[in-house]
A and B are shown apart, each in its own frame.
Chain A
């Protein structure tokens, strides 16, 4: 997925906030437990923000370089896109 893409969730994909503050991604016939940075990134997925903006926001929130956040998150979005969970 390119940094200029505007990711949005595929059908039947949604975030779920747990009582203990953790966030899960609910998907057809499954659920993915998200780490904090993945959760922060996916909370910004709504089809109106480019991936680059999401990465920059997460980098700022977790006080890491945009390159470092970009590496982790690009891989995450790539995997989700492969499975049709993010478009």
Chain B
């Protein structure tokens, strides 16, 4: 609108200040993580065993836990979101779409900790009695993470699909396509990029979430092989381990965990930007 020289000076100062603070957050965490990595060469941070008693501080189980948990939650959540989105975009009756939209909007307001709280008393006992195990498991955390991710993913998809639908609706109607055909054969294939970027959004949020894994996943530092086993994510590891003595391998490991999470979120954000930069805007 205006040029930067016409800006009130304080506004410019504030904005650049914000930029500087943001940059320093990144620098601070990345620097700490790097320092921890250099200090802890003998602690084998990328080893497979976490056992502080034997001076083994392997983060691999947590990295594995974070990845499989977020991918499984994403897979489940993304499919659900796609379904919900199709309902919103005309595959379901109007009244259902209306209720669903309101519900999804409401769901974005549900605090994560409330999801976790309800799941501890509803979902965990169900899993325990139905499948055995303690119930605190990969499965419990994945289901709740998926559910938590649905509203944001659906609403993103819906926005994109809506604009593509508007762009193509005349042509589709002229071709005699029913709304279902239009959605299935025209809109969805055309919005691949947006479906992908909503998945990216979901992945970033699932990987970064702390409360659901720490409350539901059981937190055992192992390579869970079945969905009923307990696992520990990097985020939960930070929450659990911040407690231990300063300077030791535990502290360094959690600094490194923070750095890994940050790098991951940066990659996600940059990829999302690159995706959004190309092609027609939604």
Q: Do A and B bind each other?
A: no
Show the binding face of A for B, using Cβ within 8 Å.
none
Show the binding face of B for A, using Cβ within 8 Å.
none
